[in-house]
Structure 1
Amino acid sequence: MSKKLLQLHFSFNGPFGEAMSHQLQTLAESINQEPGFLWKVWTENESSQEAGGIYLFADEGSALAYLHKHVARLKDLGVDDVNWKLFDINEPLTQLNHGHLV
């Protein structure tokens, strides 16, 4: 099994910044409980009205299971256009450039 990086973004009308941090804390805490989840970098761009994240999962199955769950959750919230990509990671080069794959 090799680690997988999931890149996900979608249209988002806010909140952004501190308000996002407060309103989505419960969601963030729940993500920590997902099988195979290692870490997430939350992304947001208020000027283009987008949000999303970069996730690291222990394996492809875990990444895809989370993707399907999150896309369904977003669709329930009215978000129809979710863009995503799944990547392998070149661990030696990532570590050389100080990337943490824990």
Structure 2
Amino acid sequence: MFMKILQVDFDYQGPMGTDMSEALKDLALSINKEPGLIWKIWTESASEQLGGGIYLFEDEKSAQNYLAMHSERLKNMGVKEVRGIIFDINLPLTEINSGPVI
């Protein structure tokens, strides 16, 4: 398996919680169509004014392509800096802790 985790975060002053769920539902549905995406966990921190997500992709190329496209989309929405890191997955340890990638 060559799956990759993509972690993204950025400064975000938009709606949070239920309001975010309603405002970004169409975006969430469109993300399901991204090549190589297995799943996404949406992240938010009202206290730190951050938005982002944790993504599981089939491979590094899919994660890189998504990060480039998503960074551009966010910058077009006024986000100044997008922090994105692609991680390898340590499957033996993830399996011990019941990580949802196996």
Which TM-score band (shorter chain)? over 0.9
- Gaps spanning 5+ residues in structure 2: where? none
The 2-side partners of 1:85 and 1:75 are apart by: 17
The 2-side partners of 1:95 and 1:26 are apart by: 33
Aligned to 1:60: 60
Aligned to 1:28: 28
- Gaps spanning 5+ residues in structure 1: where? none
Verify the 8 A CA contact 1:14 1:46 in the aligned structure 2. Answer: no
Query: In percent, how many aligned pairs have the same letter?
Result: 53
| Residue 48 of structure 1 pairs with residue 79 of structure 2 | no
Q: What's the RMSD between the two structures over aligned residues? A: 1.0
Aligned to 1:38: 38
The 2-side partners of 1:92 and 1:72 are apart by: 35
- TM-score, with length taken from structure 2: 0.96
Any residues of structure 2 matched to 1:1-102 within 5 Å, and which? Answer: 2-101=2-101
- TM-score, with length taken from structure 1: 0.96
Q: CA deviation at 1:96?
A: 1.1
The 2-side partners of 1:16 and 1:46 are apart by: 7
How many residues are treated as equivalent by the alignment?
A: 102
Verify the 8 A CA contact 1:9 1:84 in the aligned structure 2. Answer: yes
1:44-92, Cα deviation, whole Å (9 max, x unpaired): 0011110100000000000000001100000101101111111000111
